[in-house]
Chains A and B, each alone.
Chain A
Amino acid sequence: MEITKKVLKVTVNGRPYELLVKPKTTLLQLLRNELGLTGAKQSCMDNSCGACTVIIDNMAVKACSVLAMQVNGKQITTVEGLAKDGVLTPLQDAFLRHSAFQCGFCTPGKLMSATAMLQETPNPTEEEIRRDMEGNLCRCTGYKQYIEAIMEVAQKKEVSK
């Protein structure tokens, strides 16, 4: 069966792309298989774990549940786009200092969810952080150290305000 590919224009981590994609290709497949950006991970395959979270414009979205064609004309940020010029973002740095990851498989998804949250709500309470991170499953950390890492960044923002 002939499948018609469509033209997709998208910006990923600041780079513009013009690509031919199959209609049923998901954003996650596009990132991982076509662009070689393997930071976003596939784990649950049913939109429940958050390991594939990326930022579309300013919103954290699970890339497994979005078709590539749906992001036409949009700005995508993946974990590979966080650190700039060899410098970690404050959130990445806090994750590092708080030992907020273990196996690291779900870490990119968490970083993207938390980055989007802190953009929208610069000074969340711990409860707000826990609620917001509901969609990101983790089996290694017990959530303790990375919630602390996000809290630290949130509080620093408050101080610098």
Chain B
Amino acid sequence: MKTDHLIDMLARGVEPAERPRWARRLALTLVVGLAAAAVIVALWIGVRPDLGSARMPVMMKAMFSAAAAAMMLPLAVQLMKPGRPLGWRLGAVGVFLGVCVVATIVALMGKAPEERIAAWMGGAFPWCVVIVPILAAPTAAGLLWLMRSFAPTRLTLAGAAIGALSGGVGAMAYAMYCPVDSVAFVTTWYVVAIALCAAIGAVIGARILRW
């Protein structure tokens, strides 16, 4: 077929393009994903028994996770559509990581040397690295599905952004369970967990987002 004929065919009977309500769909996906993660924690993993008295640290950890998700959101939005600049949005992620490193060091410096390892590792295996990706899965599935209806052109990066954003949402729910309240633990292992979500997202995104 001649290209001119194809153009005729495409242009024929064209109607006003619909304005997709992506902001609403994105917000809905995030809310549903967070609710799903909270349900998994409540029914399967279990809320920490001292939730009533530990409200402050739980809130702080949830806020930290929400901040991580908020850092990823502009990047994920840019990557949904072709040819959008990333610029400061990548920088914001870098700044966030830098702040986490500094916070970890400062928090550990404030501890007695013999307490540092326990404060950093949380006294046991950091389970958030395993559980946060599981809690992120519902959000990630929703975001992948949402992004497929747009036109991502940098699939690995888009997948990573979706993964990290979902990881932040998953970590918000994880805070209801997480028994470790040490700052250095959170600024290290929550970030590792979210980074792992980003890595998984990059691998899956490169395959699933193809169009």
A and B part of one assembly: no
